[in-house]
Amino acid sequence: MRDTIPPQARVQTGVPQATRRRTPGGPIALLMLAPFLIAYLLFFVFPIGRAVQLSLTQSSLTETGPFVGLTNYVQLAGDPDFWASVLHTGQFALYTVIPVTLLGMLMALAVNRLVRARNFAQALFFLPFVLPVSVVTLLWQWILNSSFGLVHNLFGTDIAWFGEPTTAMPMVALVTVWWTVGFNMLLFLAGLQNISREVYEAAQLDGAQGWTAFRTITWPLLWPVTTLVLTLQLISSLKIFAQVYILTGGGPFNSTQVVLQYMYNTAFQNLDAGYASAIAVAFFLIILLVSLMQAALLRGRS
């Protein structure tokens, strides 16, 4: 739930005037808000401040150490492992974001045409998305197993797909595309259903069919969903961790180590929570920057 941002949901903060007199509200509102607010402060707001504070110290995983100012950030700026992890994360985003968007749109267009088999086809494409990440990785480790897997049997390959520097990241991306594309298909399907029949009928009278109809009607009217999908995908691809961790462990030769994994290793293996917190703050800034850039870019285009 936390991953999704509803950019279009309506927010009304209007004050219902008629009931104002009857509801001083204060105490009851406080009681109703209290459980959420306490949890929110304790497990969300407090950790935000703490992450920033820890990033300015030299701390272990459980003990807060001395204040060192911006030392961690200076070190981070010149840390080749960190920049490599940023590069790998970008690589993963590059391999996944456009494919899942395009493929999701194509699937939605194909499924949307169906009448009777529609729910069935939708389920076939969507089902992988509801699976836990480790079910997905087990499945693909089996299919891509270099001596007994399906791909080996069909094509006679004996490549250790997740163990070669050239194939590891593309394969992690491929598995991720298979796993998550159904969700984008769902969003595009909802978008397609919002386009009324009459628009197409009117276009048909003007002779617009097939590709022309897609280019002049479907594509522009799907643009809001497309921007939503691109935004959600880019941000979620920057948060990549589990698939890489399980499938490659960051290897071979650190060639797939991503930002979150570098943060995890620094904090929980090297027990350097101060430096890891600086990575966490940098990670947040990257996400913020990318979201802002993307928002500006997409607004410019629409």
Name the residue nearer to another protein (CB basis): 166 or 238: 238
| Residues in region 116-175 near another protein by CB under 8 A | 117, 119-128, 130-135, 137-143, 145, 148, 150, 153-154
Name the residue nearer to another protein (CB basis): 166 or 268: 268
Segment interacting with another protein, rule: CB under 8 A, options 33-41, 66-74, 157-165, 200-208: 33-41
Binding marks (x or -) toward another protein, 41..60, rule CB under 8 A? Answer: -xxxxxxx-xx--x------
- Smallest distance, another protein to C-beta of residue 98, A: 19
| Residues in region 210-229 near another protein by CB under 8 A | 225, 228
| Residues in region 234-263 near another protein by CB under 8 A | 235, 239, 241-242, 246, 260, 263
| Residues in region 261-280 near another protein by CB under 8 A | 263-264, 267-268, 273, 276-277, 280
The Cα 23–Cα 276 span in angstroms is 48
Three-state secondary structure string covering the chain:
CCCCCCCCCCCCCCCCHHHCCCCCCHHHHHHHHHHHHHHHHHHHHHHHHHHHHHHCECCCCCCCCCECCCHHHHHHHCCHHHHHHHHHHHHHHHHHHHHHHHHHHHHHHHHHHCCCCHHHHHHHHHHHHHCCHHHHHHHHHHHCCCCCCHHHHHHCCCCCCCCCCCCHHHHHHHHHHHHHHHHHHHHHHHHHHCCCHHHHHHHHHCCCCHHHHHHHHHHHHHHHHHHHHHHHHHHHHHCCCHHHHHHCCCCCCCCCCCHHHHHHHHHHHCCCHHHHHHHHHHHHHHHHHHHHHHHHHHHHHC
Q: Is 62 in the site for another protein (CB under 8 A)?
A: yes
Name the residue nearer to another protein (CB basis): 71 or 129: 129
Number of residues binding to another protein, judged by CB under 8 A: 108
- Smallest distance, another protein to C-beta of residue 3, A: 8
DSSP bridge partners of 300: none
| Residues in region 171-200 near another protein by CB under 8 A | 178, 183, 186-187, 190-191
Select from 74, 288, 293, 297 the one that contacts another protein (CB under 8 A): 288
Q: Is 295 in the site for another protein (CB under 8 A)?
A: no
The Cα 266–Cα 270 span in angstroms is 5
**Using alpha carbons only, how large is the chain's radius of gyration in Å?**
24
Say how far residue 234 (Cα) sits from the centre of its chain: 6
Q: Is 18 in the site for another protein (CB under 8 A)?
A: yes
- Smallest distance, another protein to C-beta of residue 91, A: 18
- Smallest distance, another protein to C-beta of residue 27, A: 9
- Smallest distance, another protein to C-beta of residue 7, A: 6
- Smallest distance, another protein to C-beta of residue 21, A: 10
